[in-house]
Amino acid sequence: MKIMWVNPVGKPYADEAIAALIRDIKSAEAEVDVVSLNTSPSPVDLEYRAYEALFYTDIIHLVRHAANNRYDAAVIGCFYDPILADAREISGEMIVVGPCQASIQIMANLCNRFSVIVGSQKEVNQMHDNIHLYGYGRQLASIRAMNLTTTDFLHNKQITEQAMLQHAGEAIKHDYAEGIILGCTLEYGFYRRLQEQLDVPVVDCIYAAYKTAEHLADIKNRFGWKPSRKWSCAPPPEKSIEEFGLFQDEPPIGNRITIN
């Protein structure tokens, strides 16, 4: 099976680290490409909706490219699940996965109430809306913000882990959370120690999204369970795509790491 992980920014700074995580957990039969975009100029994160919107066209273009090149699944690697429904519309027979949706679907099998730990208060409203959109609002105990940045996640590991432990502990004690989701793809490397200390399931959204993509790719190939193209799932007609001259340029890949 072929899977693409898309880091939806025009910077390759997270590619190597995420590729290393996926290399440790992928199935032997999976070939994985971890890519970032060539969008320029580019912010380093999608914390702001305006920044997120800057990448929409390139994400759609890349998903279309992956679908046409026989990838079985793709992950849009941001916990906001940016432009997920739009990408699924253009993905042909390819599965498209978002880390937020994948994480809460896994957690719903492990507990009745979960909390999400995010970087800043700015992110809470959008995360809250997405979780309710996916139908898991009743199970959401809380979303707690640590007041940390993506730079902290990458370079201040001790501070990040202490903040995660504090806010997750408060979510369990005060919000009655029974499980914790780490709500950023850069919050990696902590889940196991947190899980041991908190004694509840702690979901790392990179692992959740990747293994969901792999699982769905497998059942697509085994059982033919591929994306529907009826009614609301109907894609743009190929004739109109051709008439408008869409998707004719090279795919907007800035960096690629292939894991066999």
- pLDDT means per 10 residues in the chain (260 residues)? 98 97 98 98 95 98 98 98 98 98 98 98 98 98 96 92 98 98 95 98 98 98 98 98 96 98
| Nearest by Cα to 191 from 203, 209, 183 | 203
Q: pLDDT for 166-178, tens place per residue?
A: 999 999 999 999 9
| Nearest by Cα to 78 from 144, 13, 6 | 6
Compute the radius of gyration of the chain from its Cα atoms.
18
> Tokens 């947190």 sit at which residue?
194
Sheet holding 95-97, edge to edge: 95-97, 73-76, 2-7, 31-37, 253-259
- What is the predicted pLDDT for the residue at 196? 97
Helix (H, G, I), strand (E, B) or coil at 223: helix
Sign, Cα dihedral of 9, 209, 215, 237: negative
Q: pLDDT for 215-233, tens place per residue?
A: 999 999 999 999 999 999 9
247 burial level (CB within 10 Å; 0-12, 13-18, 19+): middle
Please tell me the pTM assigned to this model. Answer: 0.97
Cβ–Cβ under 8 Å, residues 75 and 101? no
Q: pLDDT for 106-147, tens place per residue?
A: 999 999 999 999 999 999 999 999 999 999 999 999 999 999
Cβ–Cβ under 8 Å, residues 144 and 163? no
